[in-house]
Amino acid sequence: MKERKAQVARKTGETDITVKLNLDGTGAAQITVPVGMLGHMLESLARHSGVDITLTAQGDTEVDQHHLVEDIGIVLGDAVRKALGDKKGINRAGFFVFPMDEALGVVALDIGGRAQLQYEAKFKRRFVGELDTDTVPEFFGGFAQGVMATVAVRAITGRSDHHKLEALFKAFAKALKLAVSRDERLKDYIPSTKGVIR
């Protein structure tokens, strides 16, 4: 069976990002980013999705975190898209409801060739740790753009902003794991009536 691995590098005047991933890994993570809470969320993404992720990123955080967080989402999504290849046999869609103590996060995604973000999450504080919560939808939107998927993200309940954020990333990881998983019964088929997913 073909290995589903990819490596992507993206360098702009604002960010410098390299990611290497294996969709059929064990959830191993080597994350080097200048924002501690973002690194923690990316490690959680790897662990709960089963995707091995090695990621190094730098950006103009002295200006704002927006460029860095969005571009990481774009590069991760692009790497997943490349690792999927022709997408034969994948489930294509996935969803998960993840409870994190008093918080509840819901994520659904469809790797169907159209980039779209639906996002409903409110945080009481502007920052969770060092991470600017205003950039969280930029990460998910960037990922949707990179992989060409519809991504729906909802923070349903939660007192703690930390718990809400963690519930969202863990739900995202589990939904991604389901979407990229192979269905052995359909290994020769592309999951679309069009016969192609772009």
Question: What are the sequence ranges of the domains in the chain?
Answer: 5-186
Q: How far apart are the first and last CA of the chain?
A: 22
| Predicted local confidence at residue 188, as pLDDT | 72
Q: What angle do CA 112, 114, 118 make, to 5 degrees?
A: 100
What's the whole-number mean pLDDT along residues 71-96?
95
* CB-neighbour burial class of residue 2 (10 A; exposed 0-12, middle 13-18, buried 19+): exposed
- Provide the percentage of residues in the chain whose pLDDT is more than 70: 94
Contact 103, 164 (CB under 8 A): yes
* Pairing assessment for the beta strands 116-120 and 150-157 based on DSSP bridges: parallel
33-48: per-residue pLDDT in tens?
A: 999 999 999 999 999 9
Please report, rounded to a whole number, the percentage of residues in the chain having pLDDT higher than 90: 87
Instruction: Give dist(CA 21, CA 76) in Å, integer.
Output: 9
Q: At what angle do helices 136-147 and 161-180 cross, to 10 degrees?
A: 10
* Four-way CATH pick for 5-186: 1.10.3860.10, 3.30.1280.10, 3.90.650.10, 3.30.230.40: 3.30.230.40
CB 172 within 8 A of CB 164: no
> For position 191, what pLDDT does the model report?
62
Look at residue 81 in the predicted model and tell me its pLDDT.
97
Amino acid 168 reads: L
The CA angle 81-87-92, to the nearest 5 degrees, is: 85
Query: At 187, is the pLDDT very low, low, confident or very high (cuts 50, 70, 90)?
Result: confident
pTM for the full predicted model: 0.95
Is 88's pLDDT higher than 70? yes
For the record, the structure tokens of 136 come out as: 């969280």
Q: How far apart are CA 147 and CA 33, in angstroms?
A: 21
Q: Which of 180 and 1 is assigned the larger pLDDT?
A: 180
pLDDT at 189 over 70: no
pLDDT single digits (tens) 102-160: 999 999 999 999 999 999 999 999 999 999 999 999 999 999 999 999 999 999 999 99
Strand spans (E) along the chain: 5-11, 15-22, 29-32, 52-59, 93-100, 103-110, 116-120, 127-128, 131-132, 150-157
Is residue 96 predicted with pLDDT exceeding 70? yes
- If DSSP codes are grouped into helix, strand and coil, which group holds residue 140? helix
Question: Which DSSP letter does residue 156 get?
Answer: E
Distance between CA atoms of residues 190 and 145, nearest Å: 20
